[in-house]
Structure 1
Amino acid sequence: MARRTDGGIRFRPVGSARRARTAPAYSPAGTGCPAIERAVENLYKAQNEEGFWTLMGALNYALELETHVLVPLQTALTVHGAPAPWAEHPVPTEKADGLKLWTLRNDKGRTWLPLFTSSAAACGDRSTAARPMADYTLEDAMELALSTPGIDGVVLDPWSHSATLDGALLNGLLHAGHTPEAPGDEEADAGKEAARNGNWEQAAECFEKAAELGSAMGLSLLADCLYKGRGVKPSRAEARRMWKQAAESGEVLAHIALGDDCAARGDNGKALIWYRRARQNAAHMPDIEYTPQVCLRVAQYETRYTSRKKALALAAEAKQGFGIRARENEPDAAQWLAETEQLLQELTAPQPAAPAAYDMESLQLD
């Protein structure tokens, strides 16, 4: 409300002020870990083996993304019932070393270390709302639980939808090595390693062998080489055919590639359909190899127009993944990262005020 020079009062519509936006970080104080939170919630709804393995896939993805969690501490700094900024400003890992951990004990006498995927989850109960928190990567927090005498495992977000992981599960998640499971996986992995080293002819040969053995991923990666002319003579028509064949097997990379091809030809409607299919397939088994791409494309082509907050969260997750992949010299990761940062800039830029549906100057009280 503001006073006019002629003595009247001018009203400003609620929400009309321009607010500065900042991009959230993929962290407990920012986006939390959506993949884990969704998987745990679905496990509660389904209560079946498929839900369990979906949770394991989400946890593996969170480990790949170097996800951070909040670990409660048992210190003299705790003031029950008083507001404290610990969840938003946790104790750094290096300073938390040696501090006593705050644990939960069930009626069977087992002791669990709570891990919170977001600051909101940490504040879900009075017992931890004002408690000091330490910032750990999920991997380090799991290792901490395994190496601390008297702790039987961890419980994720105990005050809401929670999941309990005992020592055997933690060992499996942390120390299980990657072994090719399906025919062609080994050849596809060899091709990806050759691509990281810039040897595209060798990479294309490996992808072709993988495709011949029935690997949908190998077929999709070979199509990418054909589309971009990497190590082979370019043929976009053949690449599209291969991508469609791989997409029929549910290959997420093929769905993304077909969407990108449609977008490059100006058909954003068909592109969005392919991106939605990629999102649906990636939800069951998220992976750093393709989920960040899904997050970025869905944010660019859909959620930015429906929910800026959701688009920012998706872009933050994509940035986290592409940053890790760029550090590991994955092909095109730096380009994907730059595209994500551009989207974040657009989403956080000041938005022009929407025109009022009436003449503001005519509203006044005499």
Structure 2
Amino acid sequence: MARRADGGIRLRPVGTHKRRQTAPTYSPAGTGCPAFEQAVENLYKGQNEEAFWTLMGALNYALEMETHVLVPLQTALTVHNMPAPWTEHPVPAEKAKGLQLWTLRNDKGRTWLPLFTSGAAACGDRSTAARPMADYTLQDAMELALSTPGIDGVVLDPWSHSATLDGALLNGLLHAGHTPEEPGDAEADAGKEAARKGCWEQAVECFEKAAELGSAMGLSRLADCIYKGRGTRPGRTQARRMWKEAAESGEVLSMIALGDDCAARGETGRALIWYRKAREAAARMPDIEYTPQVCLRMAQTETRYTSRKKALALAAEARQGFALLAREQEPDAAQWLAEAEQLIRELTAEPPAQPAAYDMDSLQLD
């Protein structure tokens, strides 16, 4: 509704005002933490040990991604029965130091610190909808709970599908060191460290040893070096064969690489199939090493054609992961980050995309 120059009222039909699509941030006010939220939902559906360990994997991923959460505070600023801006504009962690935490107490006398992964989750109950919230990284919030006397653990998103983590689980998630679990993992890790330093010949030697010991990760990394000619003679046919062998073992990076190779040769449909396979494999155990790549490729090749909002959320998650990997000098992370930022610019500027030229639901590998 708007005023005319002559003082009358002009009615504007609903939906005629165009709004510029903006990119969400990887935060409680933006994307939340999709991997964690999906893992909790699956835990409630499955109620089994496998679903529990999937949740632990999602929480590890959330920690790797420096995910932020909202922590409720007990202050005189609370305005009851009124929506508060704290979920969108939370109190910075440094200003929240010393303020009393708002906690929950169960019928067994144990006290839990609620953590919220999104603003919507925080507004799920009147007791927190208007309560001031502090912005903490998930790691800092967990450590806060461990270091605060009288708090037995945390409960994430208590008003919906929730996950309760006692002190033992928090300690395990925060302080368990990475130890190679499979043959060749140590050699593959050594190769990755050499690659970060730009010592590609040394990296190739390590990846070769890892592959000989049966490491699919080492085989996939070795194939990448051969495909790009890093530290060894290039050989794309050989690299494709090695990637397919690693992909059969469920190695996600090899699936992404095969998709990229198909895309480079103009085989768009086959590329999408490999990206979908990578998405399915990554969903079981998300990891900053490959999940941001999966998010970006799915946003680029499929989601942008079905939901710009979902594509932007995937791109925001990808951008967060690549920024962290670039900070750690991970090879190619800066290039992936540039791709994610370019996609975000395209999605926030372009008109709605036309449907893809192929039926995405019926694609199959030979």
Report the TM-score when normalising by structure 2: 0.93
Per-residue CA shift, 1:126-150, capped at 9, x if unaligned?
0000000000000000000000000
Q: Give the equivalent residue in structure 1 for 2:210.
A: 210
Letter in 2 for 1:349: A
Determine if the alignment matches structure 1 residue 282 to structure 2 residue 289. no
Distance of 2:208 and 2:353 partners within structure 1: 53
Letter in 2 for 1:184: G
Determine if the alignment matches structure 1 residue 118 to structure 2 residue 112. no
Per the TM alignment, residue 84 of structure 1 is displaced from its structure 2 partner at its CA by 1.0
- 8 Å CA contact 2:304–2:353 kept in 1: the answer is no
Q: Give the equivalent residue in structure 1 for 2:133.
A: 133
Q: Give the equivalent residue in structure 2 for 1:224.
A: 224
CA root-mean-square deviation: 1.9
Distance of 2:352 and 2:72 partners within structure 1: 43
Unpaired runs of 5+ in structure 1? 3-9, 355-366
Per-residue CA shift, 1:268-313, capped at 9, x if unaligned?
1000000000000000000000000000000000000000010000
- SS of match in other structure, 1:23: coil
Distance 1:17-1:327 versus aligned 2 partners, 3 A rule: same
Per the TM alignment, residue 75 of structure 1 is displaced from its structure 2 partner at its CA by 0.4
The structure 1 segments of at least 4 consecutive aligned residues displaced by more than 3 Å after TM superposition are 10-17
Unpaired runs of 5+ in structure 2? 3-9, 355-366
> Is the deviation greater in 309-318 or in 345-354?
345-354
The aligned runs of 1:5-44 (5 Å cut-off) are 14-44=14-44
- 8 Å CA contact 1:191–1:202 kept in 2: the answer is yes
- SS of match in other structure, 1:86: helix
Distance of 2:110 and 2:13 partners within structure 1: 56
Distance of 1:353 and 1:293 partners within structure 2: 22
Q: Give the equivalent residue in structure 2 for 1:61.
A: 61
Per the TM alignment, residue 13 of structure 1 is displaced from its structure 2 partner at its CA by 6.9
Per-residue CA shift, 1:37-78, capped at 9, x if unaligned?
000011000000000000000000000000000000000001
The aligned runs of 1:96-245 (5 Å cut-off) are 96-245=96-245
Query: Which structure carries more relative contact order (alpha carbon 8 Å, separation 6+)?
Result: 1
Report the identity percentage. 84
Distance 1:352-1:166 versus aligned 2 partners, 3 A rule: closer
Of the two, which has the highest radius of gyration?
1
Distance 1:12-1:128 versus aligned 2 partners, 3 A rule: closer
Per-residue CA shift, 1:333-364, capped at 9, x if unaligned?
0000000000000000152799xxxxxxxxxx
Q: Give the equivalent residue in structure 2 for 1:339.
A: 339
Distance of 2:12 and 2:346 partners within structure 1: 26
Per-residue CA shift, 1:195-227, capped at 9, x if unaligned?
000000000110010000000000000000000
Q: Give the equivalent residue in structure 1 for 2:7.
A: none
- 8 Å CA contact 1:39–1:55 kept in 2: the answer is yes
- 8 Å CA contact 1:255–1:275 kept in 2: the answer is yes
Report the TM-score when normalising by structure 1: 0.93
Distance 1:314-1:208 versus aligned 2 partners, 3 A rule: same
- 8 Å CA contact 1:21–1:350 kept in 2: the answer is no
- SS of match in other structure, 1:131: coil
Distance of 1:235 and 1:160 partners within structure 2: 52
- 8 Å CA contact 1:16–1:353 kept in 2: the answer is no
